[in-house]
Amino acid sequence: MSIVHLRRARTSLVLDARGPGLPRVAHWGADLGPVPPDDLPALVDATVAPVVHSSFDAPTVLSLLPEASAGWGGRPALAGHRERRDWSTAFRLTGLDVADDGTGSARVTVRAADDGAGLSLTVEIAIDPTGLVLLRHRLRNDGDTAYELRELTPVLPVPAVATELLDLTGRWCRERSPQRHPWPMGAWVREGRHGRTGHDATLLLVAGTAGFGFGHGEVWAVHTAWSGDHVTFAERRPTGESTLGGGELLAPGEVVLDAGEEYATPLLYAVFSDAGLDGLSDVLHTHLRARPQHPATPRPVTLNVWEAVYFDHDLDRLRALADQAAEVGVERFVLDDGWFRGRRHDRAGLGDWYVDDTVWPDGLHPLVDHARGHGMQFGLWVEPEMVNPDSEVFRAHPEWVLSAPGRLPPAWRHQQVLDLAQPPAYAYLLERLDGLLAAHPGIGYLKWDHNRDLTEAGHQGRPGVHGQTRAVYRLLDELRRRHPGVEIESCASGGARVDLEILRRTDRVWASDCNDALERLAIQRWTGLLLPPELVGSHIGPERSHTTHRVHDLGFRAATALFGHHGIEWDIGAIDAAQRGELAAWIALHKRLRPLLHAGRVVRVDHPDPAVWAHGVIAHDGSQAVYAVAQLATSVTQAPGPVRLPGLAPHRRYAVRPVAGVPEPATLQRAAPGWLADGGVTLGGAVLATVGLQMPALHPEQTVLLEVTAVD
């Protein structure tokens, strides 16, 4: 089979394998329909660039692994050498297999070799029922001497109609900040050198047609699924090619393949949508929800005690907090930092993972049992990869630290990183965590933190990020094998380890250490580009945010936290009965809407007023939906334009009502719009999506919640 056409959902992938070299992707994008086999050669030939003056004598081949030997002059997909030789390759096709794996996915395996360079390549391509493409390269050293690999990155072509780029950047407490610009000639390269995914990780690098939005435009996107150093890039060349790609970012000497050894790239997730950014999210969310390891039980409302007690652990106070948590409807109680030996502040104790008997003379059992007695799950904070120099484990084993020979990396939060690629360090952590969970079978959740970058991270004289990342995966995998009922959250100074490879081993992410509801609206909106709501921890913080000092009323904070894995990060023991009652009402609302919020299709509204943001979740059968309309700031106009409610079934009629059971926000005007003053309105889905509804003129930093129910 020399031309392969794969179709799933609204996506087609056409692979041309007629030549002796590596195949090329002739089309990745919109579904082409059932193309007759006899038409495929003409389709493929129609995509071949012409030979022009002052160029190669034959068309340049942009293959699955672009090579200089085929005329490629852009970013190399493979870089490496064997004693300064074999730095350029000319792979020849040795096999191509196409198979249906029985789950609705199609898989293509391409095998190639360059006998002169002593290298063989396997390219694995899968397209799942949603149209999501997963791409991975495997490179094997078939030579007799070592081969130093510097880069191996999967690449896919994007059509010329994609003229704009969108990706994300950020920092601590302001993760997921979008940046958008025209796609110029040259390479737009995003490198993460943090040793973890990073607060500034792009998550998705999106290329799209001019003016694309949440609900319109053709868009192509890639995600590099790797929790260590990585690169994601978009390249547009004067010769006409446009590409997206990504992979692991390797340091010099980090991966050296001995004879017979193989290196596999991280998975590159590639997704196309002809319905804007929401279409990308729909594909990704559907894919993630279909995974065997995706959480299958309702996501428990979680209280984390960090902002209530910090390091001041007192059993009576924590018991009282558990009582109050149960009273308002909390389902999981999490004890944060400060429970282990020597941990009275953040400058000591990390690495000594034993319950501190000076603070907990009877161990953690009294608190675990108390929380469990209320019917709540119990969770515990850990930061296994880190160590304080002021700790027993560091004093005993300073050689366990990731470092260059003869010196420690710069300190960060008074901590260093344990080198888990060293078997003794790995064995110590596995024994401690396994022992902790075995001794406390009531612990059903670990908040797994990671509070510093890996800087100058050396392993036995060589760069160590690759080995550290693999070792962390092994540690998580082994703990999950031994304790399959324990859920794990990926937290890294907030949202610095959010990627689809860590999420193969964890059950949710902590999107940010910032609980300011205004900041969180943006952080959650853009984290949701990749992840469905149930995988994103979203908590109600205190009235005054401890990271921004901004003050918000409970309604705005709760409406923001509603759309995620819901929880509380607040000293609810210090609030009065009225606030506790309102909080309980919001938690009850979340529980009532949870089946919809954690299974429905996410939509975000393209509204012309930047001060108005709207988003919603719609049941896949179109029977119900919930929308939030948030006023971020004052609008230039007296009343912003009507807000459209996209995603509903156009031919069905819907009753739109303000959500009942929680206080309504205050408005600037005494009289609400007529439909709202009447308690709601019934209109067709097409009308709601095209005309929309005029909202009340809200004060800044308030939210209106609307519940939508099909009436026919």
Which residues are catalytic, by number? Answer: 449, 513
Sequence-distant (≥ 6) Cβ neighbours of residue 450 within 8 angstroms: 196, 383, 385, 386, 491, 492, 493, 496, 497
Burial (CB count <10 Å: 0-12, 13-18, 19+), residue 246: buried
The answer to whether 67 touches 90, Cβ cutoff 8 Å, is yes
Whole-number Å distance between alpha carbons of 526 and 175: 9
Strands 508-510 and 536-540: parallel
Q: What is residue 667's DSSP assignment?
A: B
Nearest to 594 by CA among 301, 325, 377, 374: 301
Whole-number Å distance between alpha carbons of 397 and 388: 12
SS3 376: coil
At residue 591, what are phi and psi to the nearest 5 degrees? Answer: -65, -35
Burial (CB count <10 Å: 0-12, 13-18, 19+), residue 707: buried
Whole-number Å distance between alpha carbons of 311 and 336: 8
Angle between the N-to-C axes of helices 554-561 and 577-597, in degrees from 0 to 180, rounded to the nearest 10: 20
Sequence-distant (≥ 6) Cβ neighbours of residue 199 within 8 angstroms: 170, 171, 172, 174, 175, 493, 494, 495, 496
Sequence-distant (≥ 6) Cβ neighbours of residue 425 within 8 angstroms: 397, 400, 418, 419
Q: E-assigned strands of 237-376? A: 242-248, 255-257, 262-264, 267-273, 302-304, 332-335
Residue 298: C-alpha distances to residues 302, 510, 530, 595, 614 (Å) = 12, 18, 20, 8, 25
Sequence-distant (≥ 6) Cβ neighbours of residue 399 within 8 angstroms: 422
The answer to whether 140 touches 119, Cβ cutoff 8 Å, is yes
Any idea how long the chain is?
712
With tokens 């279909």, the residue in question is: 290
At residue 328, what are phi and psi to the nearest 5 degrees? Answer: -90, -5
Cα 136–137–142 angle (5° rounding)?
Answer: 155
The answer to whether 304 touches 447, Cβ cutoff 8 Å, is yes
Whole-number Å distance between alpha carbons of 112 and 152: 15
SS3 682: strand
| C-alpha dihedral, 651 to 656 to 661 to 662, nearest 10° | 120
First-to-last CA distance in the chain? 50
With tokens 């160029």, the residue in question is: 55
